[in-house]
Every structure is written in C-alpha cells, then in structure tokens.
Amino acid sequence: MTFPRQRPRRLRRTPALRALVRETDLAPRHLIAPLFVKEGIPEPVPISSMPGQLQHTLESLRKEAAEIASRGVSAFMLFGVPERKDFEGSEAWNPGGIAQRALRVLRDDLGNDHVLIADLCLDEYTDHGHCGVLDEEGHVDNDATLERYVRIAVAQAEAGAHMVGPSGMMDGQVGAIREALDAAGFERVGIMAYAAKFASAFYGPFREAAECAPRFGDRAGYQMDPPNADEAIREIRADIDQGADVVMVKPALPYLDVLRRAKDETRFPMAAYNVSGEYAMLKAAALNGWLDERKAVLEVLTSIRRAGADLVLTYHARDAAEWLTA
C-alpha cells in the first residue's frame, strides 16, 4: 500500500502542533465591545433579548468598561439612549446629551490607552425611529440628515471620541463628516464607516436595547439590499475614497462572502459587526444546552477573522476575551 509523503494529520496531533501552524489568530485586541448607556435610570436594565447585556447607567458603564478593558479588549463602541426624543433627534448632538456625557466619563477613566468609538446615527434619538430627518412625505431626506450628522460628529469629537462610526447609510456621509471634523480642528479623529450595512433581519434585539424600532415602515430604503454584493463593494470603495479610516460590513455571519471579497479587493482596514441577532442565537442555544457556548462563540469569531475582519464588534467581547486569556 502506498501512502502520501505529506500527512497533514501529523500537524494536528497535539494542541501545541495545531497552534504552531494556525493560520488565523483571535485575541482580545481584535475585539470591540458595544455598550449601551441610558439616560434617567437608577440602575442597569437587563436587555431581555440579549442575555448578559445591559442598558447602563453612567456609573455601571464605567465599571463594565473597566472590567472588559482588564481582559485585554482595547476598544468600545458606545450607543446612547436618551430620555427625550424629537422629530430631528436633537439630543444626538447635545453637548450635555447622554452619549456625550458617557464619552467624557470613559475618556477620563481610560484616556488614550483605549479607543472610544461613538455610534453616529439618529435612530436612537428620533421619535419616529428612522436614521434621518423625514421630508413631508415621510421619506428620509439625505442632505438634511447629513447636516445633522456633521453636528453629531463634532459634538462626539468634543466629548472625547477617538473615532466616530456613521451608521445611517446616507449617501456622502463619510465625506461630509470628514470635512466637518477637519474644519472644527479634529483632523485626528478617525471614522469607522458602516460602509456595507444591510437591511437585515438580525437587528431585532438591538432595537430593544437602543429603543429605536421604526414607528412606521422599515429601513430598506437606505440600508443595503441583502442580495447585492457588487453594490456593497462599490459602497465600501466610496467610503474609502471619502476618507474613512476603517470600513465595516454589518452583519457579519450572513455576509462573510462580502467581507472576504472586500478585504481581497481593497486591502483596507476592515471591521465586521457580529450583531445582536447573531449574539442572541448563540445565547439562546447555549441557555437551552444545545451548544457549548465557549466553543461556539470562539469558532464564530474566528470565522469572522478568517473571512478578512481585522476588527470584530461583538457582544461576546467580555466573555471571549476571558476565554482567550484563560
């Protein structure tokens, strides 16, 4: 009987051998932890559809960020949930608004040793739940929305954000924000652009957490159509051309093909958002005893890295970081 000279199994025999030839690494430094802070609550509020996640007070936010940072995670994405909402979402750029107060608190605590990224959108702040200003017919007005986005960007930069994350999928949003930040003296504040954000079914739990479900209609008119990969690459290239420092594909798991293609074609810093619905699926399966949570989470996060993500936004960040360093 003739055997092949090369036997891949030789390199799979022990954990040390497998680690020696491992092609894709996953470490806490690759993770970004999304956090929610809510105005006007006396204590943290559990998010029922995202077990283990909370709407934080300012004080509990500080403690959570410090705990996650102690596990080696160096970046955070912050979402604010205001008490007061209005038609144009004015609390989003209020210097005393909840997101800006939270940024200042975290910047005081963490300084420049960690990266604070501020989600830049209007859906958490508008009374109608859409990501922009509405025209008389109830459609999102792209250019009127950009005028608000630049105000938000400057307010977030003034509050201490190292990066802003425009997530509304308005045409020209990155260019407008870059120009406004530069004009205000914030040339060093970066932009992590939600460049290919799809109109996905996997955002449901987030809408509970951020209290931002649309009061009418949906967001398919401005978020991307799930079947379109070529369009996603065009959107990503456009954001790069407009001055983005990192581009993002969202969600992660249903769009790993887009992520891989974007990385191969652009070689640009790439993030992927392991979104709330993806988190909730694994949590539900683990709580029912159907999956080994640790193994499943690390396998999922590794798959996102393998597909081309330099950075992974994930609600698993705290637990994953602990497992990776245990």
Q: Which of 38, 85, 250, 283 is catalytic?
A: 250
Judged by phi (left if over 0) then psi (alpha if -120 to 50, else beta), residue 313 lies in: beta
Select which of 38, 63, 85, 197 is catalytic.
Answer: 197
- Catalytic (active site) residue 197: yes
Query: What is the H or E stretch that residue 282 is in?
Result: helix 276-287
Residue 248: enclosing H or E segment and its boundaries? Answer: strand 246-250
Chain position carrying tokens 């369009």: 231
User: What DSSP designation does 55 have?
Assistant: E
C-alpha distances in Å from residue 157, one per residue of 160, 190, 242, 326: 5, 9, 19, 36
Residues 6+ away with beta carbon under 8 Å from 186: 154, 157, 158
Point out which residues pair with 312 in neighbouring strands: 31, 272
Contact assessment for residue 309 and residue 256, using Cβ atoms and an 8 Å cutoff: no
Scanning the structure block, which residue is given the tokens 């245990």?
326
List the beta bridge partners of residue 46. Answer: 54
Return d(Cα 144, Cα 132) in angstroms, integer: 8
Q: Which residues are catalytic?
A: 197, 250
